[in-house]
């Protein structure tokens, strides 16, 4: 029954507010407030105290009762004020691997001249994460999102709330934004990586000749040669970085979904995910063939994301179009 009421209330709030486009200012009309379980218990205690004070004619008990009631009313006002006019700058979900929690990353801004305390972000079926916001400041709040299996997790809405100052009341507002979190297949499998037969194989060059391909800079690790260190960047105050190159004759990997026909669908995707992660870690160029997509050989974080996203979406886009 409680779940049904929450669903109906959520549908009503969505119709009332519509889809949010950042930046979103939480105006007073969309901020709701109700007593918490502790607030209800506190109110019941005040009622008992008032009845007892009237029954025994104890003016001191009545004074204390009305004093505490006044404190509760002030805390209700402060709780509502703590959330109203908070500005949501952005909300995104970072990709993750199956069975590893993802992250709902929300950036909030406080344009008021006072600090805001205990602002909570609560994703669907998730635990709240609380942070404070300094006056005229911004804060980034990362809330965990469960990702039990590969695919796309749709985050249609999340809650921004506060129980400051005493936890007697909760003020909250729903933010409706269509956010998709990509859940890659869990990297798993022990098969050796294939090498494309049409390319020249070889190891990465350590001499960095003129025919080598520049990859970029990476943080210094133990065992790196001092000759590879970017000393000019270090002299300008940058951290210790190492120049990274890839030999033009390096091994080329082509990962083909169709060649793993002896495995089940999910096992194929997990094995391909294992190969993609390992190839990227070793700085190798790799391509992916997974019907109906074929990604040309490349390397780098963006290529890794495109390949893993193709694995995550396999079978999902086709099912959606058929439906």
Domains of the chain, by residue range, sit at 15-184, 185-202+250-323, 208-248
Tokens of 43: 């109110």
> Which pLDDT does position 11 carry in this prediction?
77
Cis peptide before 277 (omega within 30 of 0): no
Structure-derived torsion over alpha carbons of residues 208, 211, 214, 217, reported in degrees to the nearest 10:
0
- Mean pLDDT over 25-39 rounds to 95
Token pair for residue 119? 């602002």
Write out the E strands in 185-278: 213-219, 241-246, 252-256
* Residue 290, φ and ψ in degrees, nearest 5: -145, 105
Average pLDDT over residues 34-61: 95
- pLDDT range class, residue 250, cuts 50, 70, 90: low
DSSP run (H or E) holding 319: helix 316-322
Report d(CA 233, CA 13) in Å as an integer.
Answer: 53
* 2 or 234: which leads in pLDDT: 234
How far is 92 from 319, CA to CA, in rounded Å? 25
Please count the helices (runs of H) and the strands (runs of E) in the chain. 7, 15
Mean pLDDT of 124-135: 92
Task: Compute CA 214 distance to the chain's CA centroid, rounded to the nearest angstrom.
Answer: 32
Cα separation of 250 and 205, whole Å? 8
Higher pLDDT, 10 or 277: 277
Residue 265 pLDDT level (bands cut at 50, 70, 90): very high
pLDDT tens per residue across span 196-228: 644 443 334 343 444 455 566 777 765 566 777
Phi then psi dihedrals of residue 167, to 5 deg = 75, 15
pTM as predicted: 0.75
In this prediction, residues 36-45 reach a mean pLDDT of 96
């Amino acid at each position: 029954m409680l779940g049904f009421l929450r669903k109906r209330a959520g549908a009503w709030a969505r119709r009332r507010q519509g889809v949010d486009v950042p930046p979103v200012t939480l105006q007073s009309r969309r901020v709701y407030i109700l007593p918490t379980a502790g607030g209800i218990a506190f109110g019941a205690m005040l009622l008992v105290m008032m009845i007892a004070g009237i029954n025994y004619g104890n003016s001191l008990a009545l004074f204390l009762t009305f004093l505490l009631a006044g404190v509760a009313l002030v805390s209700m006002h402060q709780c509502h004020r703590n959330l109203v006019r908070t500005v949501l700058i952005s909300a995104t979900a970072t990709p993750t691997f199956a069975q590893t929690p993802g992250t709902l990353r929300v950036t909030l801004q406080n344009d008021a001249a006072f600090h805001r305390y205990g602002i909570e972000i609560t994703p669907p079926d998730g635990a709240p994460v609380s942070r404070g916001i300094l006056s005229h400041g911004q804060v980034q709040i990362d809330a965990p999102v469960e990702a039990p299996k590969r695919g796309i997790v749709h985050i249609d809405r999340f809650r921004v709330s506060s129980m400051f100052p005493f936890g007697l009341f909760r003020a909250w507002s729903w933010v409706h934004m269509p956010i998709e979190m990509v859940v890659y297949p869990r990297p798993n499998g022990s098969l050796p990586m294939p090498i494309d037969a049409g390319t020249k194989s070889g190891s990465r060059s350590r001499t960095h000749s003129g025919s080598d391909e520049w990859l970029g800079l990476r943080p210094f690790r133990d065992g790196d040669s001092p000759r590879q260190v970017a000393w000019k960047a270090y002299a300008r105050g940058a951290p210790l970085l190492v120049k990274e190159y890839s030999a033009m004759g390096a091994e080329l990997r082509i990962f083909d979904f169709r060649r793993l026909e002896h495995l089940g669908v999910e096992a194929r995707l997990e094995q391909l995910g294992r190969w993609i992660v390992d190839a990227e870690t070793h700085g190798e160029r790799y391509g992916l063939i997974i019907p109906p997509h074929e990604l040309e050989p490349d390397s780098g974080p963006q290529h890794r994301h495109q390949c893993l996203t193709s694995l995550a979406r396999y079978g999902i886009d086709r099912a959606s179009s058929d439906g």
